[in-house]
Structure 1
């Protein structure tokens, strides 16, 4: 079978398996991560150390991803996937067996510099997927990560009680499995090297390019969606503990249920909803449900409400594949990696700003009459960005020029 034939027949399945391996690996390491960082730092108070590690990784990855995406357009997806997954496998073993904080931080930076798995998988999927099928397949791709969030924390918690390093060993093995899978992908996208643009190393070079493609308004709302998606990372455990008295096992249950709901939405609902109301309609529906759910979360004072609220909170995430699809339709196949790299930088920026902003607001308002005020931040970001997108769509229609995503109903 030729590489082109393999790309069309095996490509999506291989990419979904790679995403599943990465998703489970990410979920596995969550329960034991603070303990391992505490051991390396020599203290039980790991909040500052862990925050430094997260911030270092997010900033380096945000700066590196656009260049990595452009390199994928130039040289193909397979080399980037192999590099990213191999470094991740090494990083897991270093965190598990090298209890030296400086070494951990160095490897976190190296991993941030090379980790482009999710962006490269998304770009490769766009390469081999017809435009009309991209929303459905992006939904499947996101579902793979949701499965990891559902399966990983439970498994990681059990393994860490047997041996603290065990989840990281398994995560490393899963990353190496991803390397083997990536080697089955075609070495290139089936086009001549000359058809690809220059490699863009400076991440700031993508900003005028995004503007030239008419993607700034929709990219702003995509940032808002990711800001909301990232907000629980810093707040969920401490907020549910202090506000509702949740135990660690209860918190773990809510995280797993969230992963289950997220998977169901991405796997079974995203495609049919897009087919019924269009990709743009699905994006608007997701934003509306997400913003409303966050407002309810901010004002609720009853613990049991959290459990049914997990469903609409994760239903709102249908906006993620919708906006991915809207933007991918504005870019041809030679620039999908550049787009996904730029969008992954948006994700990384949200991953840096959202936890910091939400934590800062919570620290100020936790003892106030509205301790859940931090959950209003995502709705505030939506209120700032969605009107810009809607106005740009209206202006484009008046000028008889299709706005971003106008191909969809």
Structure 2
């Protein structure tokens, strides 16, 4: 069992590394292929395209994994990721970069399949802990990705993509030889309706009891986008941080989050229950964000990191609770929809937070963190209203 988890978690780390490694080299890469002085619009297009492809294909891959099995879908997506990174390494023009990044978003949608796989092989009383490990692996990937991308990009701008292709190729071989199928596929006939990415969403909206879970996932995912959009700008304008200090603060944040999500969700759920763990995570994040909003010294950011880290226990507890909302035959489909809600937040939230920061930066840059607190607060009544129930059979799409 541990061997299977290692393979799945390795795939998750590589997905996160692939997302993160492009950020340090993206401006230089776009200047290289477009010869434009201002590449910010192109960065926005690439980011939105990646998230859009995840939004479209996460429910499709999740639904296909219910019918065909988790293993073949994972293997195909890993193979596609390896080929895509090689494609990006040698793409000479903007349209080829756009195509490659779109394919990268498609292949990274295998997270929904990996989540369903973990659900298949994990007893209910251990799911919160293992989902915490899954999120910790994401944290590790997001720490490694930018560092690796920046270091390799100093030698050659395209080298990070080649490294990612090699890593994904190794992971494909590992999964092919080690990873068995986790459940018996339904082998239902696949028709065109099953490949419609909006069909699973219509299925969810037909099950009104699932909507609060979907909205909570969306809210928590949206708040997480604020850090990537505003952190560097806020640190520079509030504390006059240079790139080194911004990198150190982000690294400290990532490390604390990874440790908290790896070690705390299981004990927190046992002590507080799933609802209590979610609310504790939200409250911890809100306290830390409020402190950041009023901070005038940089050391305060590092001092509040342990409280920030406690915010990481909420999502694994929510994931564990979500798995009990549908029966085993629809886990892949449901996990795909949840992944789509995360991707939808990744499309919308950056536009919202960048606009808000533009409004508040002149008078009070820290006010951006209070806006995040307000959005967090929207999740509280939804969490309090959740019904903790056993899985029920749901209609097929």
Say yes or no: TM over 0.5.
Answer: yes
Matched residues in 2 for 1:296 and 1:215: separation? Answer: 34
What whole-Å deviation, never above 9, does each CA across 1:123-175 have from its counterpart, x for those lacking one? 11111111111111111111112222233333332222222222222111111
Give 1:267-306 correspondences, 5 Å limit: 267-306=262-301
Alignment match of 1:203 (pick from 197, 211, 223)? 197
Give 1:46-195 correspondences, 5 Å limit: 46-183=39-176, 184-187=178-181, 189-194=183-188
Matched residues in 1 for 2:390 and 2:367: separation? Answer: 33
Stretches of 4+ aligned residues off by more than 6 angstroms: 195-199
- Report if the CA contact (8 A) 2:237-2:365 is conserved: no
Displacement of 1:351 after TM fit? 0.7
Residue 40 (1) aligns with residue 33 (2): yes
Which residue of structure 2 lines up, in the alignment, with residue 220 of structure 1? 215
- Report if the CA contact (8 A) 1:69-1:341 is conserved: yes
**Root-mean-square deviation over aligned CA pairs:** 2.4
SS at match of 2:304: helix
What residue ranges of structure 1 are gaps of 5+ in the alignment? 1-7, 397-401
Matched residues in 1 for 2:173 and 2:90: separation? Answer: 24
Which residue of structure 2 lines up, in the alignment, with residue 11 of structure 1? 4
Answer with 212-221 or 98-107: which moved more: 212-221
Residue 329 (1) aligns with residue 321 (2): no
Displacement of 1:120 after TM fit? 1.3
Matched residues in 2 for 1:383 and 1:337: separation? Answer: 29
Matched residues in 2 for 1:112 and 1:22: separation? Answer: 10
Which residue of structure 2 lines up, in the alignment, with residue 3 of structure 1? none
Which residue of structure 2 lines up, in the alignment, with residue 342 of structure 1? 337
Structure 1 residues 99 and 241: alpha-carbon distance in aligned structure 2, compared to 1, 3 A threshold: farther
The aligned length equals 389
SS at match of 2:365: coil
Matched residues in 2 for 1:143 and 1:197: separation? Answer: 37
What whole-Å deviation, never above 9, does each CA across 1:234-266 have from its counterpart, x for those lacking one? 112222122221111222212221221111101
Structure 1 residues 261 and 331: alpha-carbon distance in aligned structure 2, compared to 1, 3 A threshold: same
Which residue of structure 1 lines up, in the alignment, with residue 305 of structure 2? 310
Residue 388 (1) aligns with residue 378 (2): no
What residue ranges of structure 2 are gaps of 5+ in the alignment? 392-397
SS at match of 1:115: helix
Provide TM-score, normalisation by structure 2. 0.90
Matched residues in 2 for 1:203 and 1:353: separation? Answer: 18
